[in-house]
Structure 1
Amino acid sequence: MKKFFLFAFAAASFSASAQTTVISTKADALKDKIIAWRRDFHEHPELGNREVRTSGIIAKHLQSLGIEVKTGVATTGVVGVLKGDKPGPVVALRADMDALPVIERTASAFASKVKTQYNGQEVGVMHACGHDSHMAILMAVAEILSGMKKDLAGTVKFIFQPAEEGTPLGEKGGAEQMVKEGVLENPKVDVVFGLHIDSQIEVGKITYRPGGTMAGVSDMQIIVNGRSAHGASPWSSVDPVLVSAQIVNNLQSIVSRNVNVTQNPAVVTIGTIKGGTRFNIIPENVVMEGTLRYFTAGDEKILKDNVRRIATKTAEAYGATADVKIPYSNQYPVTYNDPALTAKMLTTLEASAGKGNVLLKPAVTTAEDFSFYQQKVPGLFFFLGGMPKGADPLKAPSHHTPDFYIDESGFTLGVKALCNLTLDYMAGKSGK
């Protein structure tokens, strides 16, 4: 009996090793195609809910692979369903498609020159967060797994999602809308995997974190209403500019005095202040917008309650009023990696990248609407290195900036990791 178990273990280890080698070979063979897809998407970016050209290319590719395709999900989303020839679980893989209203400043030959209207302003459009690479990687995963259909013990659902960065006011979109429209049903998804390229993690490395990985986020709007007057006679006014300045300062006490920062980080940021039309006119109102970041329901309540209290009471102290809306236009839950799933799939990530290249990372206060999928099914979201080897992460251009840059040599690792996660999860559920 002991010999049998030793033989079975050796056979299983050989099988897993052989799979990793096969996937690695297939991914490396697609390297040039992945880069070409990514550069095309990068040169022709589209904002959230407007990914018409983008989704058309993706749908055509999936259809060419014999994958069942549904378009128009949550406005422009594409969902592909690949049914393996053998029974097993349903694994969802997700990539986001939207670009950002950023004017590109890089010198790359495929830099974006696109301009469009966003919230009433003319803006540049740029893939300044790496969603172009996410799409290209998942298209390659679809190509590899569709070629393994006869050996696939389960079903793969490819989710190409619009509007991860949020939608313009009055629109619906993103992961939350995809979930509402049934993307995790018919067939019912058992697990979801996703990745995000990171311009400040070295190529060849993967980082991950069990539990709370990325912050929950809620945006906010504060309108301070005062009384207008000539700038030369401020005593005739209730100055909303002055009141807004006091509110901004007072809001900074929330994290430093109300949140236990030894347990979880939190953020209160005012990102825009708009008021007035002329240097010598005190306006009637000022509009501020900002963001809250948190990792627990308790901290979320502390932040929201204190923002409302401080804004309204500070305004009242100066004879003004403050209207506070939280959330204002969008809110994402905490991106939460199921601890049991993360522990189970860690060996797969290590087999894909090499054990020394898979690193535990601290929680980050950026947010991801991948969290909406994780609210419904167990999920694992990890980060893929996109910084050139040897570069300084403190000097590498960060996401959402005009100089954002990704080293394309790391894309194939993302393909290998997603393929291996899919196959290993299926093998574990089918008892192989």
Structure 2
Amino acid sequence: MISPRNMLLATLLAMPVTSYAADIQSTLDHAADAVESDVIRWRRDFHQHPELGNREHRTAGIVANHLKSLGIEVTTGIAHTGVVGILKGAKPGPVVALRADMDALPVKEMTGLPFASTAVAEYGGKQVPVMHACGHDAHTAMLMGAASVLAAQRSELSGTVMFIFQPAEESPPPGEEGGAELMLEQGLFDTVKPDAVFGLHVGAGTSGTVTYRSGPAHAASDTFHITLKGRQSHGSMPWFGVDPVTLSGQVVLGLQTIASRRVNLMESPAVISVGTIRGGVRHNIIPSEVTLEGTIRSFYDHQRAAIHADVKQVVEHHAEAVGATADIDIQKGYPALINDRALIARMLPTIKQVVGETGANEGPMVFGSDDFSYFANETPGLFLWLGTTPPGEDPMKSEHNHSPYFDIDEPALSNGVKLLSHLAFVFLAERN
């Protein structure tokens, strides 16, 4: 029989755990609310001064100075302009990483915002307008806010938080390396390897809500370049030549049958799209060559390899059938982004705690790609979407990422800061 004294002692020992958890949750939320104005100010500043991939020097400097002001150990210059902060908690425990991307796009802004970008930079040998048309300004600002929140709780942290501010997510400039892949090649996880990595992306959706996906979430993105070689002739006498123009039409249709007839769409979707067709210089000359460029999107490695083989077979056989030849070059891009199923199951209660039961919803697979996938291939990863569609707009009809009119509802950023802070803190606490 348990004595009344022991029962009381057991009750008292149990109370601090429940009270502590509630207190910390409230503390994190209040801290996120306190930095909301800073986050919005940072976001607007980055938005007004966007920088292309591998050129995020100003952005990286602001990030590094902020992290240093919080007493966080900072390393700069990773993958050209990447910044990494290491926050060591007062208690021993695992390591968790939080990632934000910093680069903008060669897009001319048309939003009319008071802090709209008028920046111009060199890209591909040309001067181009630059805009944060994908929300990376918001990602950087939210992670800076989360750094403020978590640094203030250093004494309660059970482990280490790695803050990854990544350059060139939108791919580095032509002829350069960059992004998550280069950060890893340069040893990002060699000294301190996280036990999990979290990422957050703004986009279409009811403001402040979260979309998640267990398992395959974002597609692998590959690029193909095809050169069809025929024989030039006069347009009035095509029988004296081999016409690569008509062949290109057959190839385009043939490529579409790969996704519609060869891929098991019951297992996973796939897309093959031709984006450019170039050939010829004059209306009455059948050219000797036509080039096609396009993209392949898939979710599984075996499916990816099969599609690559099918593309080569279809193109080569179509060319052979008309007496032409074909050169096919397929370049692998970002791998598919696979959210760790066990990790999302463990963290879903935390996500719902931040945004509410109805504020978190599982979404479909997305054919867009993100190089967060490289991090998630190294350690269990979880990538989430934060809805930021301005109030009064239909998320399905509003301007989406990469549009020159893309904008966000800034109050949603507070939920982003809370999500990153809670996910890191809870992961460390539960794993300790």
Q: Normalising TM by the smaller chain, what interval?
A: over 0.9
Question: Which among 42, 48, 52 is matched to residue 47 of structure 1?
Answer: 52
Q: Distance in 1 between matches of 2:251 and 2:163?
A: 45
Q: How many residues align?
A: 427
How far did 1:81 drift? 1.1
Match of 1:217 among 213, 218, 221: 221
- AA of the residue aligned to 1:154: G
Report the alpha carbon displacement of residue 239 of structure 1 after superposing the two structures with TM: 2.7
Query: Per the alignment, in what secondary structure is the counterpart of residue 326 of structure 1?
Result: strand
CA contact (8 A) 1:192 1:373 kept: yes
**CA 1:108–1:237 in 2, change beyond 3 Å: closer, same or farther?**
farther
Structure 1 residue ranges without an equivalent (≥5): none
Deviations 1:316-339 (A, max 9, x none): 222222211111xx5222211111
Map residues 336-355 of structure 1 onto 2, 5 A cutoff.
Answer: 336-355=338-357
Tell me which residue corresponds to 1:189.
Answer: 194
Amino-acid identity (%):
48
Aligned to 1:240: 244
Q: 1:173 to 1:111 in 2, by over 3 A?
A: same
The one-letter code matched in structure 2 to 1:80 is G
Which amino acid counterpart does residue 315 of structure 2 have in structure 1?
A
Which of 209, 221, 224 does residue 205 from structure 1 map onto?
Answer: 209
- Asked if structure 1 preserves the Cα contact closer than 8 Å seen for 2:297 and 2:367, the reply is yes
CA offsets 1:327-379 (integer angstroms, 9 cap, x no match): 1xx52222111111111111111111112211111211111111111111111
1:310/1:121 CA distance change after superposition, 3 Å: farther
Aligned pair partner of 2:140 in 118, 135, 146: 135
Once the two structures are superposed, the pairs formed by residues 32-431 of structure 1 within 5 Å of their partners are 32-198=37-203, 200-327=204-331, 330-430=332-432
* C-alpha contact (below 8 Å) 1:93/1:159 kept by paired residues: yes
Residue type matched to 1:285 in 2? E
CA distance in 2, matches of 1:365, 1:145: 33
Change (3 A) 1:50 1:340: same
Q: 1:31 to 1:280 in 2, by over 3 A?
A: farther
Q: CA deviation at 1:83?
A: 1.4
Structure-2 change in CA distance of 1:100 and 1:34 (3 Å):
same
Distance 1:20 1:389, change over 3 A: farther
Amino acid at match of 1:39: R
Distance 1:309 1:348, change over 3 A: same
**Compared with structure 1, are the counterparts of its residues 279 and 58 closer, same or farther at alpha carbon in structure 2 (3 Å cutoff)?**
farther
Return the letter of the residue paired with 2:367. T
Counterpart position of 2:25: 20
SS in structure 2 at match of 1:227:
coil
| Length-normalised TM-score, structure 2 | 0.93
Deviation of 1:179 (Å): 1.1
Q: State the 1:231 CA deviation.
A: 4.1
Q: How has the CA–CA distance of structure 1 residues 275 and 104 changed in structure 2, closer, same or farther, with 3 Å as cutoff?
A: farther
SS in structure 2 at match of 1:408: coil
Distance 1:149 1:232, change over 3 A: same
The letter of the residue matching 2:131 is: M
Structure 2: gaps of 5 or more residues? none
Q: Which residue type is aligned with residue 192 of structure 1? A: V
- Kept in 1, the 8 Å contact 2:157–2:429? The answer is no
